[in-house]
Amino acid sequence: MIIAVDGPAASGKGTIARALAKHYKLPYLDTGLLYRAVGLSVQRMGLDPEREADAVAASAFDDSLLEDPALRDDETGLLASVVSAHPLVRAALFQRQRRFAAQPGGAVLDGRDIGTVIAPEADAKLFVKATPNIRAQRRHAELQARGSAISKDRVLADIRARDARDSGRSAAPLAMAADAALLDTSFLSIEASVQRAVALVDARV
């Protein structure tokens, strides 16, 4: 069973995907981490993320970056959304995601293009959304808990910038697959969101 979970930043898709993986006993891949690692790699090599990300895409990145503490920072998310617009970066990460999706027992993947590009054959597809304000509120609380002093307005501005870039790019833009089920988590607790997600997946498999 392949479960594809897509949606914008801080929509709750990661939490839901992890919970689904646990529920169905499937391996889980957060594909955003791969783009974040490419972003960090480009930055640390002193390259321009707008124009020179292809150089890193060709050589792939060092896997130790996947453990880097800076990987989950807000700035790294923005950097990831810049480098991920490059078709060559997406192509370089494609096989790795495909292999993960196609492993014999099945898998859960979350990202922006899992249901549309990486695993269009997925058995269940969820598109998770929430209003920009609520997503900013959640992300802000999360960053504060990790000791960040970033303001809520700044987090909201970052989220809007990321939404615009992820939805507006021509290479695999953030989009809901025609056969995906929509899950709006704006007014749902984590527990209620997960329950709804399990019910949606059960209805599709």
**Dihedral over alpha carbons 34, 36, 42, 48 (to 10 degrees):** 130
Residue 11 annotated as binding site: yes
Region of 62-70, 74-82, 98-106, 137-145 interacting with ligand C5P (CB under 6 A): 74-82
CA 117 to mean position of chain CA atoms: 14
Tokens encoding 174: 């953030």
The site for ligand C5P, by CB under 6 A, has a size of 14
Residue 136 annotated as binding site: no
Tell me the closest approach of the beta carbon of residue 189 to ligand C5P, in angstroms.
21
Cβ 10 vs Cβ 129: under 8 Å: no
Tell me the closest approach of the beta carbon of residue 15 to ligand C5P, in angstroms.
12
Residue 52 half-sphere exposure, CB side, CA atoms within 13 Å? 9
Neighbours of 125 (CB within 10 A): 24
Instruction: Give 59 or 167: the residue with its C-beta nearer to ligand C5P.
Output: 167
Query: In 3D, which of 55, 76, 56 has the Cα closest to residue 150?
Result: 76
Q: Does 37 bind ligand C5P (CB under 6 A)?
A: no
Q: Looking only at residues 39 through 58 of this chain, which bind ligand C5P when binding is defined by CB under 6 A?
A: none
Q: Does 32 bind ligand C5P (CB under 6 A)?
A: yes
- Collect all residues with Cβ–Cβ distance below 8 Å to 134 and sequence separation of at least 6: 186
Strands of the chain, DSSP E: 2-6, 28-30, 107-111, 124-129, 181-184
Q: Which of 113, 116, 158, 194 binds ligand C5P (CB under 6 A)?
A: 113
Residue 15 annotated as binding site: yes
Q: Which of 43, 162, 193, 197 binds ligand C5P (CB under 6 A)?
A: 162
Residues that bind ligand C5P (CB under 6 A): 9, 31-32, 35-36, 77, 80-81, 84, 111-113, 162, 166
